[in-house]
Structure 1
Amino acid sequence: MPETVLVTGAAGTIGQHLVRLLVNDGCDVRATVRSEAAAAKMAGLGANPVFADFEDRESLAGALNDVGAAVLITPAHEKADLYARCFIDAARRAALKRLIRVSALKAAADGPTENTRLHACTERYLEASGLPHVILRPHLFMQNLLISVQSLAADGTFSFSMGDGRMGMIDTRDIAQCAARCVLSDEHLGRTFELTGPQSLSWHDAAKVLSEVLARPVSYVPVDPQQQFKSLCEFGVDPWMAGVLRDYGTAYSAGWGNYTTEAVAEITGRPATGFRQFASDVIAPLVRNTGE
């Protein structure tokens, strides 16, 4: 009988890829959802949707009933540490065999963003829980570029607040594959991995690759982190999230993300996906369809 694996945040960027992989591996996948639309999406991917809320102890207990392993993905939110702690407590009560935590890049108590610091708190709590676990810390998502498909199609430009900083950005499909491997095996229990792509690139470097892949000029237009913060707040973005994006932009601009690791290859047995491949697979079809 296949092991039942629970995935939280299953409708997100990493979660959807992960659900597909686990279903294809023959797992009985249970996915937490909070809306009928998300439930329908998960059912369409072959998972069993279950309504649960991180702050609802009873719903977490139900979601974890008879589950062997879980992947814990929480949203970027000022209550993310609370959400994760509630889930970890429920997982302890359920005697979970393996918990894979998708954390944050270089999680540390003295990190440059509130998100970095909250994930560090969660990691310490998980380590103290006694649960068998693996911690995955992914770098900046290549998929963040998806928010710029419209501008890429319209005038060949995109903007972020990372300045000229170089970053070991990663394809979220690789994060999902790492999580899938870890959740189905005891091999990496007790370890923490910094997940990156194969190269450290600036967004200017990425623009050059996009120009070649799209066969049209593409340029990156840097935005000042503080100006971005003000603009996002004016557009109604939650100030906490706007502040996190500002602080990440400042850190990346200063070189904080300029590194790569071999963690993806160690876990999956193959090299991490390069930006050119990502651009060809994901961005190019969307830009072409948008421009039609």
Structure 2
Amino acid sequence: MEDYNKIIESLGVSFIKAKNIKILQPVTIENYYDVENTLILMEKGSIYFGKDKETVREGDLLFIPGGKMVSITYGAGDSVNLTNDDFMSNKEKYFQSTIDNEMMEGAERFSYVNFEAKVFDSVNFFASLDIPPFVIENDKIRSIVKSILGESASDDPGKDRIIKISTDYMVVEIIRFILKNRLFVEQLATNSTYFKDPRLIDIFAFIKEHLGGDLSNKVLANVANVSEDYVGQYFKMLTGINPQDYIEYQRMEMAVTLLRTSKKSIREIGKDVGYKDTAYFCRRFKMMFGIPAGKMRRRESLMNV
């Protein structure tokens, strides 16, 4: 249990946004994807997800780890099948956002909280577990989500502090739910290795600080004080992923952040995250996210309505 306490203590948790959504028309998004973690509370109606169309019933929660692509259907009945790209171009036909749940009485609707949880502010924790989306039946987490939604819609003093505390609490309860129900325990146990080897922590910190620079295995070997031939094997042994794949994920995650928050050109953003060839950056971006970088810029996230 001590290892799990270390995991929780190392996490930097950040609230991104929370909204209530009215479903105007059933829609299936074939390749839903977001960098941040998403926790959806089904208020009325149904959501279906994954290849087997698992059901999220009223009152249940669907947790989608950051970086995990999934097919998801909002609403019962015949749905329109869309890609991320098509949905983002026409989302007002399918979703209506409001801070007032009373305006949605009788309609199919859901709420969601979008958040980050990063180990040492570097590694997207839930993404690093490589776990699929899953349903949560838990009154305590449901209550926390409703509290966050209520605070987000208020103008009361201290709301940001309450939201921060509540989001921290929510993440701890999600991890407790995973442990109590023995979900993905092997992945959690593997991740505890992050906190036993300071050389790995040094590599994570170096990558975070030098995303736009040279992050070859030769450079990482010097950081960890191991041989260039061994550093890739060492990194994969502890994390389950080779270092260059991890670096590309971190670079693309930063690119998404810059696309959403800055006015820099795509060429500048590609350079900032370590890609000298803009065309190559754009190809890799579309391959990872399913949409071009330019279209990602026109959204705050897939679920932002």
Instruction: Decide: shared fold, TM above 0.5.
Output: no
Larger Rg belongs to: 2
- Choose between structure 1 and 2: higher strand proportion: 2
Give the TM-score normalised by the residue count of structure 2: 0.28
Give the TM-score normalised by the residue count of structure 1: 0.29
